Chain A
Amino acid sequence: MPRYARIRQEEVVKKKKQEKPFFSTFIKFALIAVFAIIVATIYHADKLGKEVEEKFNKPEKWNLPSRIYSDAEHIYPGYNIVQKGLISKLDRLGYRGMQERVASPGEYFAYENIIEIFLHDFDYPEEKLKGYPVRLDLNSNAISKITRLDDSSDLSVIKLEPELIASLFDQSMEDRTLVNLNDVPQYLLEAIILIEDERFFKHHGVDPYGIIRAMAANITAGSIVQGGSTLTQQLVKNFFLHPRKSFIRKFNEIIMAIQLERKHSKAEILQAYVNEIYLGQRGASSVSGIAEACRLYFGKDVKQISIAESAQLAGMIKSPYKYNSFVNPKSAKERRDFVLKRMMDSDLITKQEYEKAVADQIITPKLKLRGNSAPYFVDFLKQQLNQLYPEDVLQSEGLRIFTTLDMGAQLAAERSVADGLNELEKKFSWKLPKGYEGNLESCLVAISPSNGYIRALVGGRDYSVSQFNRCTQAQRQPGSAFKPFVYLTAFDPNRSNKQFTPSSLIDDTSFEIEAGGKMWSPKNYDNEQHGTVTLMTALENSYNIATAKLALEVGLEEIVQTARDAGIKSRLSPVPSIALGSFETSPLELASAYSIFPNEGIRAEPISVMHVVTKDGKILERKPLSMKRQFDSAPVFITTQAMKGVLERGTARSAKFMGIGDNAAGKTGTSSDYKDGWFVGFTQNMVALAWIGFDDNTSMGMSGATVALPLWSSFMKETTTFEDRFDLPKGVVMVKVDPVSGLISNENCPAFAQEAYIEGTEPKEECK
């Protein structure tokens, strides 16, 4: 080889040798980088896999809110559907009003003098009730007959399930009811898989074909019309990650989906998916999972939904707001029909099933717009429950708490408070303190005296403004509302130092007495003195002077004992002013004490919680009824009769013009300087207390009869009938007497009051 050629060759080789290190270095580094990425990815995937296993294998995957329920409602022949608000109750329970006869659970049909109801299934404590269809025949507004439609049997009573009052959520605010895959109708699962992930059983977490198909569809449409995510990816996104879009999140989602599919079966993944998926909002809480969504949109259990409803639900997953049947019924129907067509085309349903489903109207239950009902009652309950269970248990264990609340009575109480206060402020604005910035506040509480059930509790005007519960947390002076306990002591020969009857005379003239190192001289509200009056007149007109004198004769320690036996636990001192209610107590305590009157001297302890049950149905708490005879029935009846006089002739006589019937009794109460206005009244089956005042004890300038009696009357008219008389006990006689002299009424004193006396103590003398 010539020299120059050899040199040239050497130069080329040298040049190549100089070029080669750069390329090989690049390759080397590239290989190292790829290797590092692979290792990092494997490490990251392993880490994500462990995360998946840790969370997914937990027996309790989700925090389930505890549910608080009202009392169940019994329906029987004679039940007045208007007075009890049956149709409103069915709406609140999520029953759908149909235009034709009922065919599946959660429907009702009202036509002329018939109501058909297909009862929901419901799990009561220790009893699973399967729903069945019934027909209620009506005679005017009362039920005349109940017939079970599936077997044509006559029923004497049926039970309507309790209403959900509130759910106790953790900070995620996810409203969820768990469902087992076995309990989900097959066509619902098929619809979901068909619409959301047709190749669910073919891929291993990620579906490349699905991604390509979605890309093609989106490019063709010029916008995002299809997603490429599998069900597994959707589950991973919602369960483990967050919905914010990012490349890293997507990358993690893919890894986790693959890991999930490696370790878990399709059934497990599908079960988690149907319990996790977001399907709309109910107020501030999100509705997650198909079971809760079925309750919201169809008012029924997931086991009972139809093909049409399954298609609707499956179609909603893509966009729960856009296809929400409450908000966008037209879009919801179009989407549903689209899903049904796909189901038919995929041979999941027959043509007949398709035609029937498409013809089904979308009928939604009346949406409950408020988040929590009875917020003050719920708070009161939570305070009691927190003594038994920590907050995190209540928010995560899915407990079911069954209470004594009657939702019909509760709503009536809320209306009475809201309307009553507005009315007062409008009508008596000139009497209220000038320049005062605060609002009048109120408490209304109702108790069933025969069993102590708290039926309604409204602790304030507006919970969103003030959560202070004026029924249970406020300590206020009862004033004259305490007087019946003075008279009860007086009429009880086993308690009083001296025997008294309603006809006994007492001197309503001013006096002075030393009490606590100071001179005390009670005054009447009208600043008048009324001379010698009967005890019945003194109570009816709420004379302070006469009552204080009576208390001194009866015995102050004896009065304190009476109050204790009636259930007043607040601090009580045996001082003369106790006769005028100059101590502090809560409205709930006072209402509970009054329950001994309609209950003939038997005290039933107030209760609000009946059962606490785990999500699996195990009973954790069971509150029995607790009652004890504390007073003889005779003096109780006599005092009740005297309190009837308060409504007939006394300080609450305006109640007659507010629609209050004969068989009711009660007492007004006004504390000193008009700081508190009370009315506590009762029929045989309901005790209700209304309190009005300012939170800072500013004077209202108005009495209990003016402010509290209208609220009480409004509530009682809505919730009570007045046909049950107070039962006359043995050893008590009724006599017509002259209210002024207390003697037997005759032509000389034709005006009379019907009063009660222990046999042998009734007046013998007639009016002269």
Chain B
Amino acid sequence: MKFFLSILLIVSISIMMTSCSKELHTKYKKLPPKQPTVKTSPEQDKKDKTQEVDEQVPNVSSKRIASMKLVEEGNSYFEKENLLQAEKSFRNAIEIDWTNGQAYYYLAMTHFKKGEFETADGLLDKAESLLNKDKVWIEKISVLKGEINTKSVDNI
């Protein structure tokens, strides 16, 4: 009996540990790729290296995490076709982190779905300027812009 219970305990712990690691993996998988720092001059490089991280200054990555949380929320509304709430979530995501290009992209997608093509196009311009170093996103933006152009022409 004791032996049986011990086996059961070991199996339970193993299952728990596996599911925890999966959750962690998923959690970190959702964080966006780090944007490369733009170096303008040797002097600026030096300044970057010597500049102390001020714990009192709001952390950009914290803003991005909070912003991406709202992007996730917005996507979940989008999947349920709740475009009004999706739009609100993406706009809130932009308010927190105005450099979050993905938030602009998904907001553009929401407006596109609503048939608001001009608005969608403008938002994609902003997404493009923020994500210009990411080829995958540039491709996605280009595809959506193409669809917007097609729909706009169809509507004329």
Q: Which positions in A face B, CB cutoff 8 Å?
A: 71-72, 74, 76-80, 83, 124-127, 139-142, 156-157, 159, 448, 450-451, 453, 599-602, 619, 622, 624-629, 633, 684-685, 721, 723-725, 727-730, 734, 736, 754
**Per a CB cutoff under 8 Å, which of B59, B116, B119 touches A142?**
B59
What is the CA–CA distance of A624 and B114 in the complex, to the nearest angstrom? 11
Is the CB–CB distance between A754 and B41 below 8 Å?
yes
Is the CB–CB distance between A126 and B129 below 8 Å?
no
- Chain A contacts of B87 at CB under 8 A? 624
Closest residue of A by beta carbon distance from B111: A624
Report the minimum CB–CB distance from B117 to chain A (whole Å): 12
- Chain A contacts of B56 at CB under 8 A? 80, 140-142
Known pairs A628-B122, A730-B132; A78 contacts B91 (CB<8 A): no
What is the CA–CA distance of A448 and B126 in the complex, to the nearest angstrom? 14
**Per a CB cutoff under 8 Å, which of A76, A79, A127, A602 touches B122?**
A602
**Per a CB cutoff under 8 Å, which of B63, B99, B107 touches A78?**
B63
- Chain A contacts of B66 at CB under 8 A? 74, 76-78, 156-157
Report the minimum CB–CB distance from A124 to chain B (whole Å): 8
Known pairs A77-B59, A140-B55, A140-B56; A627 contacts B65 (CB<8 A): no
**Per a CB cutoff under 8 Å, which of B40, B59, B119 touches A626?**
B119
- Chain A contacts of B99 at CB under 8 A? 684, 724
Q: Beyond A76-B96, A625-B94: 4 further Cβ-contacts under 8 Å?
A: A74-B95, A78-B62, A126-B85, A625-B119
Closest residue of A by beta carbon distance from B119: A624
Closest residue of B by beta carbon distance from A601: B129
> B143 near A: Cβ within 8 Å?
no
> B141 near A: Cβ within 8 Å?
no
Is the CB–CB distance between B58 and A78 below 8 Å?
yes
A-B CB contact pairs (8 Å), 26 listed: A71-B95, A77-B62, A124-B88, A125-B88, A126-B85, A139-B55, A140-B55, A157-B66, A157-B69, A450-B126, A451-B91, A453-B95, A599-B126, A602-B122, A602-B125, A624-B116, A625-B107, A626-B119, A626-B122, A627-B125, A627-B126, A629-B126, A729-B132, A734-B40, A736-B41, A754-B40
Please provide the chain B residues from 31 to 71 with a CB less than 8 Å away from any CB of chain A in the complex: 38, 40-41, 43, 55-63, 65-66, 69-70
What is the CA–CA distance of A286 and B60 in the complex, to the nearest angstrom? 46
Q: Number of residues in B with C-beta < 8 Å to the partner?
A: 40
Closest residue of A by beta carbon distance from B120: A624
What is the CA–CA distance of A489 and B69 in the complex, to the nearest angstrom? 40
Is the CB–CB distance between B40 and A728 below 8 Å?
yes
**Per a CB cutoff under 8 Å, which of A74, A625, A685, A725 touches B123?**
A625
- Chain B contacts of A453 at CB under 8 A? 95
> B137 near A: Cβ within 8 Å?
no
Is the CB–CB distance between B38 and A727 below 8 Å?
yes
Q: Mark B111-137, 1 if CB is under 8 A from A, else 0.
A: 100001011011101100100100000
Known pairs A728-B40, A736-B41; A157 contacts B58 (CB<8 A): no
Is the CB–CB distance between B122 and A627 below 8 Å?
yes
Closest residue of A by beta carbon distance from B65: A156
> B84 near A: Cβ within 8 Å?
yes
Is the CB–CB distance between B85 and A450 below 8 Å?
no
What is the CA–CA distance of A450 and B63 in the complex, to the nearest angstrom? 15
**Per a CB cutoff under 8 Å, which of A80, A125, A451 touches B57?**
A80
**Per a CB cutoff under 8 Å, which of A80, A125, A627, A684 touches B58?**
A80
- Chain B contacts of A139 at CB under 8 A? 55
Closest residue of A by beta carbon distance from B126: A602
- Chain B contacts of A451 at CB under 8 A? 91, 94-95, 98
- Chain A contacts of B63 at CB under 8 A? 76, 78
What is the CA–CA distance of A227 and B80 in the complex, to the nearest angstrom? 59
**Per a CB cutoff under 8 Å, which of A76, A600, A602, A724 touches B62?**
A76
What is the CA–CA distance of A723 and B43 in the complex, to the nearest angstrom? 17
- Chain B contacts of A629 at CB under 8 A? 122, 125-126, 129
- Chain B contacts of A729 at CB under 8 A? 129, 132
Closest 4 CB pairs of A and B: A78-B62, A76-B66, A450-B98, A629-B125
What is the CA–CA distance of A156 and B69 in the complex, to the nearest angstrom? 7
- Chain B contacts of A736 at CB under 8 A? 41, 43
Report the minimum CB–CB distance from B103 to chain A (whole Å): 10
Q: Mark B80-110, 1 if CB is under 8 A from A, else 0.
A: 0000110110011011101100000001000
- Chain B contacts of A76 at CB under 8 A? 62-63, 65-66, 96
What is the CA–CA distance of A18 and B41 in the complex, to the nearest angstrom? 129
What is the CA–CA distance of A180 and B131 in the complex, to the nearest angstrom? 50
Closest residue of A by beta carbon distance from B68: A156
- Chain B contacts of A141 at CB under 8 A? 56
What is the CA–CA distance of A72 and B65 in the complex, to the nearest angstrom? 19
- Chain A contacts of B107 at CB under 8 A? 625
What is the CA–CA distance of A111 and B141 in the complex, to the nearest angstrom? 47
Report the minimum CB–CB distance from B26 to chain A (whole Å): 15
What is the CA–CA distance of A74 and B98 in the complex, to the nearest angstrom? 13
Q: Mark B1-22, 1 if CB is under 8 A from A, else 0.
A: 0000000000000000000000
Known pairs A625-B91, A627-B125; A142 contacts B69 (CB<8 A): no
What is the CA–CA distance of A340 and B63 in the complex, to the nearest angstrom? 49
Closest residue of A by beta carbon distance from B90: A625
Report the minimum CB–CB distance from A11 to chain B (whole Å): 103
- Chain B contacts of A624 at CB under 8 A? 87, 111, 116, 119
